[in-house]
């Protein structure tokens, strides 16, 4: 009694990225696996690495349920490891468990609506690990679709700050879905948060959520605003989803300038205030530029959810998941601009729109609609 | 009975850097202080921050015992904290203790030759902390002059690697005086070391010391050489004194490419091999360029000796110092291109020469010669 259904696959071969809907047979779940009938899956920036990457989507060939796009260099060569492989896409989603492996925990989920993290959520069905499934109770699949990536990342920033003994946080590109969650988490936990946005409209958006420290990088006096906010909050730890360009550099500079102002004696090595920034995304694929203007007391690091969760340990992860579940329609609620089927998701209009990753314009895929 | 003598001071004011020899009265040492009659002090790259910085030394005005040079922007503004201040220079040196404060440890040093770290070593006398003085026994001041900065930094790299559970090290600009020490330390300790140099002559130099892994960044196949050396050594931790440009990026790239080759499954996030680089100097004042080509499993950090020693703790520091003392004429020996008096040190010819920081061309200042 094999289950079949439609699924999206992404293949990079001979400099061309082919993404298409294909009929697939799903294996029966075994052990601790469950088979989920997926009803909703968000398109997050992190999904675009597999789905579109740096492909030339403007000039791609679009046909029903399929597009073929050129992948420019150096991005084509940089992904040598996936050449020729047919990869599933979609980190997370929600749906109903329709079959389960022999384990008790898998069996107990049969018939329940769950959020899951299969890495293959742009599909009508997926195999998921029961241990990673979050039973949604009365919540809808749409409400539970984004229960993992953004909520756990935003909570992960707060956990990271605590582990490193930091009492305040800087967040760049702060008007994002994730950024709005972080505003609410930090309000609940009493953690001062410096929100860096790049548009007046985003200032209004976060003001509306009650954010206390909002800095607009498009303003002439951006650096003054940033220094003031750092001075007011004591934030020497930041998270940045942009990656390329000078935003990380600006944050380090402002941190150092605030710290130096408090020094009583000049040091050629700069302040002894430790400054730390994490890059957790790549909205800008350009190089990160670091200028020699803040001494040697700084650390820049990549931040990824999965290694963080492994490092944090099961107790912390379970506590974080429970908090997400409790706040899924409030603190961790996601809003969507548009719902698309698997086929609609691969049209030129949709691809060019969600690939732009505009603030507040998230897509939700509904594979059975 | 105040002691007087000549000392070099560096003052940045109104966009001009003035460095001059001045007659100074040295206070009597108190408590745990000693007064050292300085006989030898090296000019290390780290001394140049105070001594020359980014000043326009080509077009400076030179007069006996003095030069006045324009300090270009943004370097002038970046050093606002020192504007108008008359700063001493010279991190380390060696000489004879001629007076001491009341403490037993200070008194016990009277008449002894010591290495010290006064931060004011371009001087005929200095006040130093007895706890930081290293008694040199039969060694000369010239042999002991560089007993701190380079030896403790090189040993600090090895200690850092151990603390972080790393068994191999990459070092860039590896033909330096410090780099040669690191080669010898790693040989003694059996730690595989990847030496990156930029000239064929430096390859020969390090080969002569018995270095096993030498990579020339000027060679066409530099990245191939680097990958091979990383594969052979398992070095995913590196130390870089260049700072600006793409050397750190090249190291991260090569580390990641070696790690990805070992993966059995493609990951959009890159390998899960942690990669770490430390910038400990600024031979290049240009920006550090980091490309998005090695996932999120990397950390780049500044590394400075003083905070490292504070973090490492007194036991480790004492063990390191003893090792330096035991090997001061072998493992930790320094060679000098030229000896200069305080006045000779400020001539156009000398300034332009040591400011170039050429490999193997270190200067030694002899304030009483």
Q: What is the per-residue DSSP string for A41-106?
A: EEE-GGGHHHHTTT---TT-EEETTEEEEE--TTHHHHTGGGBT-EEE--S-EEEEEEEE-SSHHH
Which residue out of A81, A252, A260, A275 would a mutagenesis test of the B interface target, given it has the greatest number of B Cβ atoms within 10 Å?
A81
Q: Please state, in angstroms and rounded to a whole number, the distance separating the CA atoms of residues B276 and B261.
A: 19
Which residue out of A19, A46, A296 would a mutagenesis test of the B interface target, given it has the greatest number of B Cβ atoms within 10 Å?
A296
Residue B167: CB atoms within 10 A of its CB come to 14
Question: Is the pLDDT assigned to residue B254 strictly greater than 80?
Answer: yes
The whole-number pLDDT of residue B165 equals 96
Q: Please state, in angstroms and rounded to a whole number, the distance separating the CA atoms of residues B240 and B303.
A: 9
**Residue in A49, A272, A291 closest to B307 by CB:** A272
Lowest pLDDT segment from A203-212, A353-362, B18-27, B99-108: A353-362
Q: Please state, in angstroms and rounded to a whole number, the distance separating the CA atoms of residues A297 and A237.
A: 12
Indicate the average pLDDT of chain B: 95
- pLDDT tens for each residue of A46-76: 999 899 999 999 999 999 999 999 999 888 8
Question: Is the pLDDT assigned to residue A267 strictly greater than 90?
Answer: no
Kindly determine whether residue A297 and residue B297, on different chains, have CB atoms separated by under 8 Å: no
pLDDT band at B315; cut points 50, 70, 90 = very high
- pLDDT tens for each residue of B327-344: 999 999 999 999 999 999
* Sequence-separated (6 or more) residues with CB below 8 Å from residue B274: B236, B297, B298, B299
Q: Please state, in angstroms and rounded to a whole number, the distance separating the CA atoms of residues B67 and B358.
A: 22
Residue A70: CB atoms within 10 A of its CB come to 14
For residue A201, what are its two tokens? 């409209």
The whole-number pLDDT of residue B272 equals 87
Degrees, nearest 5: CA angle B49-A248-B295: 110
Residue A356: CB atoms within 10 A of its CB come to 8
Give phi and psi for A95, each to the nearest 5.
180, -160
Mean pLDDT value of segment A12-20: 96
**DSSP letter (8 states) at residue A123:** B
Kindly determine whether residue B50 and residue A244, on different chains, have CB atoms separated by under 8 Å: no
pLDDT band at A1; cut points 50, 70, 90 = low
Kindly determine whether residue B302 and residue A295, on different chains, have CB atoms separated by under 8 Å: yes
* Sequence-separated (6 or more) residues with CB below 8 Å from residue B335: B177, B360, B362
Q: Please state, in angstroms and rounded to a whole number, the distance separating the CA atoms of residues B229 and B219.
A: 14
Mean pLDDT value of segment A230-237: 98
- pLDDT tens for each residue of B66-84: 999 999 988 888 888 889 9
Indicate the average pLDDT of chain A: 95
The whole-number pLDDT of residue A270 equals 83
Mean pLDDT value of segment B24-31: 96
Instruction: Report whether A32 contacts A129 (CB < 8 A).
Output: yes
The closest of B207, B196, B280, B271 to B233, measured between CA atoms, is B196
A–B: how many Cβ contacts below 8 A? 97
3-state secondary structure of A13: strand
**Element housing B5 (H / E):** strand B3-13
For residue A367, what are its two tokens? 């594979």
Task: Encode B113-175 in three state secondary structure.
Answer: EEEECCCCCCECEEEEEHHHCEECCCCCHHHHCCCCHHHHHHHHHHHHHHHCCCCCEEEECCC
The whole-number pLDDT of residue B259 equals 95
Chain B residues with CB inside 8 Å of A298's CB?
301-302
Lowest pLDDT segment from A121-130, B13-22, B160-169, B353-362: B353-362
Handedness of CA A149, A155, A161, A165 (dihedral sign): negative
Which residue out of A46, A53, A77, A78 would a mutagenesis test of the B interface target, given it has the greatest number of B Cβ atoms within 10 Å?
A78
Instruction: Report whether A183 contacts A206 (CB < 8 A).
Output: yes
Mean pLDDT value of segment A233-259: 97
Q: Please state, in angstroms and rounded to a whole number, the distance separating the CA atoms of residues A23 and A36.
A: 16
Task: Give the pairing type, strands A16-26 and A3-13.
Answer: antiparallel
The whole-number pLDDT of residue B280 equals 96
Edge-to-edge strand list for the sheet holding A86-88: A61-63, A66-70, A16-26, A3-13, A86-88
* Sequence-separated (6 or more) residues with CB below 8 Å from residue B316: B159, B309
The whole-number pLDDT of residue A2 equals 83
* Sequence-separated (6 or more) residues with CB below 8 Å from residue A109: A34, A97, A100, A130, A133, A135
Chain A interface, Cβ < 8 Å to B: 49-50, 74, 78, 81-82, 85, 87, 243-244, 249, 260, 263, 266-269, 272, 279-280, 282, 285, 287-293, 295-304, 306-307
Q: What is the per-residue DSSP string for A304-327?
A: -HHHHHHHH-HHHHHHHHHHHHHT
Task: Give the pairing type, strands B113-116 and B134-135.
Answer: antiparallel
A325, HSE (Cβ side, Cα atoms, 13 Å): 17
Q: Please state, in angstroms and rounded to a whole number, the distance separating the CA atoms of residues B250 and B247.
A: 5
Mean pLDDT value of segment A126-133: 94
Kindly determine whether residue B268 and residue A49, on different chains, have CB atoms separated by under 8 Å: yes
- pLDDT tens for each residue of B98-137: 999 999 999 999 999 999 999 999 999 999 999 999 999 9
The whole-number pLDDT of residue A14 equals 93
For residue B133, what are its two tokens? 């003085």
* pTM score over 0.90: yes
Mean pLDDT value of segment A187-191: 97
Chain B residues with CB inside 8 Å of A296's CB?
279-280, 302-304
- pLDDT tens for each residue of A30-49: 999 999 999 999 999 999 98
Mean pLDDT value of segment B199-216: 97
The closest of B343, B344, B338 to B364, measured between CA atoms, is B338
Q: Please state, in angstroms and rounded to a whole number, the distance separating the CA atoms of residues A222 and A200.
A: 12
Q: What is the per-residue DSSP string for A215-281?
A: EETTSTTHHHHHHHHHHHHT--EEEES-EEESHHHHHHHHHHHHHHHT-SS--TT-----EEEEE--
Residues in chain A: 369
Mean pLDDT value of segment B314-334: 95
Paired with B61 in beta bridges are B68
Kindly determine whether residue B74 and residue A285, on different chains, have CB atoms separated by under 8 Å: no
Question: Is the pLDDT assigned to residue A22 strictly greater than 80?
Answer: yes
A72, HSE (Cβ side, Cα atoms, 13 Å): 8
């Amino acid at each position: 009694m094999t289950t079949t259904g439609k699924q999206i696959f992404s293949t990079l071969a001979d400099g061309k990225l082919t993404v298409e809907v294909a009929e697939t047979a799903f294996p029966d779940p075994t052990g601790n696996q469950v088979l989920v009938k997926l009803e909703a899956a968000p398109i997050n920036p992190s999904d675009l690495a597999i789905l579109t990457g740096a492909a030339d989507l403007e000039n791609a060939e679009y046909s029903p349920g399929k597009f073929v796009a050129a992948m420019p260099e150096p991005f084509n060569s940089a992904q040598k490891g996936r050449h020729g492989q047919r990869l599933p896409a979609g980190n997370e989603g929600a749906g109903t468990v329709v079959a389960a492996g022999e384990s008790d925990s898998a069996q107990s989920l049969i018939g329940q609506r769950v959020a899951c993290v299969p890495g293959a959520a742009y599909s009508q069905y997926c195999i998921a690990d029961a241990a990673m499934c979050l039973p949604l109770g009365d919540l809808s699949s749409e409400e539970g679709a984004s229960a993992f990536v953004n909520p756990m990342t935003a909570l992960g920033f707060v956990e990271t700050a605590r582990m490193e003994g930091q009492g305040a946080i800087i967040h760049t590109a702060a008007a994002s879905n994730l950024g709005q969650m972080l505003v609410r988490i930090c309000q609940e936990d009493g953690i001062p948060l410096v929100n860096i946005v790049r548009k007046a409209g985003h200032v209004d958006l976060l003001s509306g959520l009650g954010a206390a420290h909002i800095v607009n990088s498009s303003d002439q006096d951006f650096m003054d605003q940033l220094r003031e906010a750092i001075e007011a909050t004591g934030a020497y730890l930041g998270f940045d989803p942009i990656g390329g360009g000078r935003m990380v550099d600006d944050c380090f500079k402002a941190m150092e300038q605030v710290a130096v102002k408090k020094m009583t004696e000049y040091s050629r090595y700069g302040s002894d205030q430790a400054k730390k920034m994490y890059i957790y995304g790549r909205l800008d694929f350009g190089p990160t530029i670091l200028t020699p203007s803040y001494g040697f007391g700084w650390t820049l690091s990549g931040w990824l959810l999965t290694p963080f969760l492994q490092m944090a340990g099961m107790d912390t992860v379970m506590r974080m998941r429970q908090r997400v579940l409790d706040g899924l329609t409030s603190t961790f609620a996601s809003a969507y601009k548009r719902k698309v089927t698997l086929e609609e998701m691969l049209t030129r209009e949709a691809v060019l729109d969600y690939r732009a990753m505009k603030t507040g314009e998230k897509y939700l895929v509904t594979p059975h609609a």
